[in-house]
Structure 1
Amino acid sequence: MKNILKYSLFSFLLGLVVFATGCEEKELSEDYDINWPIPEITEVSVAGDVAIGSQITVKGAYFADAVVTINGIECTVISVNDTETEMTVELPRIFEQGLLRVANVFNRYSESDELLNPVYPEVTVTKVNDIPQGLQFKVEGENVDVISEVYIDGESVPILTREPSEILINSGELDLKPGQLVSVSFKSLGPNAIPEVANVNVIYPFIEYKELIIWDFEDGNHHYVGEPTASVASGGSDCPGNVDKFFQLRAPGYGWDKVTGEMTSEEVPDVSTFINPYLTFAVRTPAGSAGYFQMEDQNGNWRHFGYGFKTDGEWMIISQPLNESWEGGEFDTRALNLS
């Protein structure tokens, strides 16, 4: 019985293999009731040499939702007329000689009868910006997007983005030193040779001065959880800086014995890329009263900003280095918690 079952199963599998290998590939529209439309190209306004980025007119039929490419590089369809028989197309800025192809959403396509050959303009480099050590820098000029290669002292560096007026280049793969003078050279698809630019300065990385707001209360909300009474009040011209609203809390004074509550940022403020960050805030206590808070990160490390604030009803702006005076362990710059 076991042998009979084994042989029968083998015959069944063999039959499946023969059946599968006997299938034929069919045309996309075969065995469908729908007559899939095929785009038709009857006329292209240009043939042969054509300027990159120029606009051309394509005439034919079935241009609805058409995708136009040349050698796999997509062109920009500017407009299609109401009868879907004529469209205006902008050629890409970089492409190789090839036929113009018009395809529809059903992957049916037609191609032009004649090749289009890209004609590239002359390239002029007007400025090579200083190179921040390990970072990106710009090359400016006319038609610089058709630059194909950039070299720093003979070493190839990648082009990240391209615009006709500027390209962005990454120098991070090279071991450059601030104060070093380098030469930047180019290869281009244009007809002219681009002069080498000598004595380009390598500088220290640019330090951006910016602020990261943890809380500003301008939406009228706060995230305090604890003993009452907490609210957001409007101070008008009495508020320091360019703010109108502030958080206020009136709670029992427990001294060092008990925390009244805490306020946690919903979004983790990442200051890991900041150089020498400062925490700046404004605080005010009523005459005869004092207040205190401390900051804590997600690892449980904490720091104080003085041991109590007493401003006698006047606003006081406090700004202190964020990376200093932490207790309990190493400060985690990726997460803060205020309590």
Structure 2
Amino acid sequence: MATRPTMKDVAAEAGVGAMTVSRVVNGDPGVMPETAARVELAIRKLGYQRDDVARQLRRANQLSQTIGLMVDHVRDPFMAAIAFAAEDVARQHGSVVLIGSTRDDLRREREVVAAFTSRRVDGLILTPVAGSHRFLRPMITQGTKVVCVDRAAPGLDVDTVVVDNFDAVRGAVRHLMAHGHRRIGYLGDKKEIWAVGERYRAYQSALEEEGIDLDPSIVRHGLRSGPDAAAAVTEILSSAEPPTAVFASNDIVAIGVLAVLPPQIAFISFDDFTLADRMTPPVTVIAQDPIAIGATAAHQLFARIHGDTSPPRTIVMPTTLIIRGSGEIPGPHPQGS
């Protein structure tokens, strides 16, 4: 089995010292251009690659000044806001943030975690995908701090920053009921995702509290895009007994739904989104504060990195039902009937 070329091999090939190779690899502008070109040629010829793991090995208690942030998808505005806030806090602590997306794939999550740990991050802010996270335990045992954000990771005893999904959604469904609705459709992301599961459980609970039987024909799960959501709401509105109101589990689903939703159907979304207040009618939403959520998770992570050994805790952030009009469209049943 061939051995990887070393810095000494590159130095011998280029006819320079190992220190010069190190300076070129690390972008030192003080190296003469002719010498740097000779070293670069040797690097390409030998296929040398810098060993980031060895480079970042540190003495006990020495920090790498990096943290990892793993979100579902960086293009999701909610996740982007969390990343923005975490980066701001990290900067205050003299650290940088490495960001990766799982796209809700457990194997990809493992790959991103492995990439972060190979770079010896001091801690990890994780939006966990559905599934087991036991694979994180060795990393945690070895001292890497972990904080979950937006979603809990069942079975993992770490700090978690979430909102009260259950009470927020139960209140929103009861709000629709108070405006005369009994046929309330549910359109959601994958219910295996912890936060989404909590939202669906709240929807079920609100119906049960009012003695309303859950009708699977007006429920759809696993909606991961706007087109998925548009197709789903079109389908449930074509059923024999269509809903008079619809609840969407997140902003991505909501945007897809609103592209095709008739104006007489009441609607509430979990998550506010751009132009929600400019639509006709303006959209009633359960609003979260992703900046506060991301900043709280980052502050908690740095507290752990800098020595906080108190028991792991769950921090529950507030939500707000913003009443704008779409959730107040009257249904066929008078209040209290």
Give the TM-score band, short-chain normalised: under 0.3
Over alpha carbons, which structure has the higher Rg? Answer: 1
More strand by share: 1
TM-score by length of 2: 0.22
Higher relative contact order (CA 8 A, sep 6+): 2
